[in-house]
């Protein structure tokens, strides 16, 4: 975790308000500051803004309370006699997020790796109404319970594992066997770490995971179609976009993806995500010898189903967080 810096009030025309090095690197979990720990919050004026270095454009990744003039951050003063003093800055927000991540690690132990913990922090954040350049994905959860507990109408699954270059894996979304009524909200977050080519900024990252959402395994729009129809989930590009458009939009190569999609419960039959690993070296196709580690968190919420969590009982491994670790997910020969 790296603090983004306190230059948020710098000249935006000259880019002097931008996140500072090294927090803008794609693999960093960059933390900014917000002005309140309460319900009404926004970016603290001093907190540096994004975007980050392409394709890690969403920077900061997260924000947390770091103090502000009207509501400062209270710390122990560096005096010989113990006393309290007030201050503020992203350097105080960052350890606060680290504390929450440490709490997740203490709760789950070695069942979740550091990449899964990072994914959970992004997945459970509070999404504000500000631009990603201001607060990233949002403000981190207020307490450990907000991360490890689910409401009765919600369940959450954690996937973690490895994928080899040019291969596909299928992450099944566990839904009740009975048809769900009304609208269902599916939230998913995917994170991975990638090698970089610093001397090749046009193709900066060496790895990219493409995710295909297949909501209904009985729906095929063409004859002899191998896999069910897909639906858009991550990214802001339209289906059929060119490679140049994908690169410019940066979503194909972004190593942290986070989105929410609403679907009718009746349309969800054995839904899943197909994940494909693309590797490149200076813009060329590349097949590295090592596998790529990834973590993915998926939440399903059906507000009209009060016992949704209980219906997912077979997938439960702890009291109110479903955490299924797939070290070796089923492979898929090719995507439709």
Least confident range from 40-49, 201-210, 212-221: namely 201-210
In sequence order, the 6+-apart residues with CB closer than 8 A to the CB of 227 are 214, 274, 332, 335, 336
pLDDT at 235 over 70: no
Domain locations in the chain as residue ranges? 2-145, 150-332
**Mean pLDDT of the 300-311 span:** 76
pLDDT score recorded for residue 287:
78
The Cα 60–Cα 8 span in angstroms is 12
226: confidence class by pLDDT, cuts 50, 70, 90: confident
Tokens for 211, please give them.
Answer: 């995710």
CATH dotted code for 2-145? 3.40.50.200
Residue 324 predicted with pLDDT over 50: no
Q: How confident is the model at residue 247 (pLDDT cuts 50, 70, 90)?
A: low
CB 274 within 8 A of CB 212: yes
Asked if residue 328 has pLDDT above 50, the reply is no
pLDDT exceeds cutoff 50 at 319: no
Tell whether the model's pLDDT for residue 234 goes beyond 70: yes
Radius of gyration from C-alpha coordinates of the chain:
21
The answer to whether 249 and 236 are in contact (CB under 8 A) is: yes
Q: Strands of 256-264's sheet, edge to edge? A: 154-163, 292-301, 183-192, 256-264
DSSP labels, 58-93? S-SSEEEE--BTTBPEEEE-SSSS--EEEE--HHHH
pLDDT value of position 182: 85
Per-residue pLDDT at 61 exceeds 90: yes
Selection from 76, 73, 3, 63 nearest residue 33 by Cα = 63
Is a pLDDT exceeding 70 seen at residue 321? no
Mean pLDDT of 265-272: 88
The verdict on domain 150-332 having CATH code 3.40.640.10 is: no
200 burial type by CB count under 10 A (0-12 exposed, 13-18 middle, 19+ buried): middle
Q: Which two tokens stand for residue 9?
A: 């009030």
**What is the CB neighbour count within 10 angstroms for residue 215?**
23
Least confident of 12-16, 135-139, 249-253: 249-253
Residues with Cβ within 8 Å of 209's Cβ and at least 6 positions away in sequence, in order, are: 163, 190, 192, 255, 257, 275, 276, 277, 278, 292, 294
Share of the chain above pLDDT 90, in %: 33
What is the per-residue pLDDT for 288?
Answer: 81
So what's the pLDDT on residue 138? 94
Residue 293 phi, psi (nearest 5): -80, 140
pLDDT exceeds cutoff 90 at 98: yes
Residue 245 has pLDDT above 70, yes or no: no
User: If you search the block for the tokens 């002005």, which residue do you land on?
Assistant: 35
Q: What's the rounded mean pLDDT across residues 94-111?
A: 93
pLDDT for 251 equals 63
- Tens of pLDDT along 124-170? 999 878 888 899 999 999 999 999 888 888 888 899 888 888 778 88
Higher pLDDT, 174 or 4: 4
- Residue 333: predicted pLDDT: 37
Among 103-112, 235-244, 301-310, which is the least confidently predicted range?
235-244
Domains 2-145 and 150-332 share a fold: no
pLDDT in tens, 32-60: 999 999 888 999 999 999 888 878 888 99
The pLDDT of residue 238: 41
């Amino acid at each position: 975790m790296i603090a983004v810096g306190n230059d948020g009030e710098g000249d935006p025309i000259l880019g002097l308000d931008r996140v500072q090095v090294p927090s803008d690197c794609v693999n960093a979990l960059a933390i900014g500051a917000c002005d309140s720990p309460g319900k009404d919050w926004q970016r603290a004026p001093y907190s540096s803004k994004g975007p980050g270095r392409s394709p890690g454009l969403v920077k900061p990744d997260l924000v947390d309370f770091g103090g502000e003039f009207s509501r400062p951050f209270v710390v122990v003063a560096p005096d010989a006699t113990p006393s309290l003093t007030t201050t503020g800055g992203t350097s105080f927000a960052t350890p606060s997020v680290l504390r929450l991540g440490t709490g997740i690690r203490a709760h789950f132990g070695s069942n979740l790796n550091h990449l899964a913990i990072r994914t959970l922090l992004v997945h459970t954040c509070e999404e504000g109404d500000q631009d990603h350049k201001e607060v990233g994905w949002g403000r981190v959860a207020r307490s450990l319970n907000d991360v490890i507990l689910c409401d009765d109408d919600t369940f959450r699954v954690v996937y973690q594992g490895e994928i080899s270059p040019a291969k596909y894996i299928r992450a099944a979304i566990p839904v009740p066997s009975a048809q769900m009524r009304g609208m269902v909200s599916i939230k998913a977050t995917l994170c991975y770490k990638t090698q970089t080519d610093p001397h090749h900024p046009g193709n900066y990252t060496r790895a990219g995971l493409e995710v295909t959402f297949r909501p209904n395994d009985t729906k095929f729009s063409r004859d002899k179609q191998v896999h069910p129809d897909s639906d858009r989930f991550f990214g802001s590009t339209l289906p059929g976009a060119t490679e140049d458009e994908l690169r410019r939009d940066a979503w194909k190569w972004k190593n942290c993806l986070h989105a929410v999609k609403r679907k009718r419960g009746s349309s969800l039959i054995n839904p899943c995500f197909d994940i494909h690993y693309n590797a490149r070296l200076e813009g060329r196709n590349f097949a590295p010898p090592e596998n790529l580690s990834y973590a993915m968190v998926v939440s399903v919420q059906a507000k009209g189903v009060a016992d949704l969590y209980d219906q997912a009982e077979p997938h439960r491994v702890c009291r109110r967080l479903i955490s299924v670790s797939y070290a070796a997910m089923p492979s898929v020969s090719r995507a439709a």
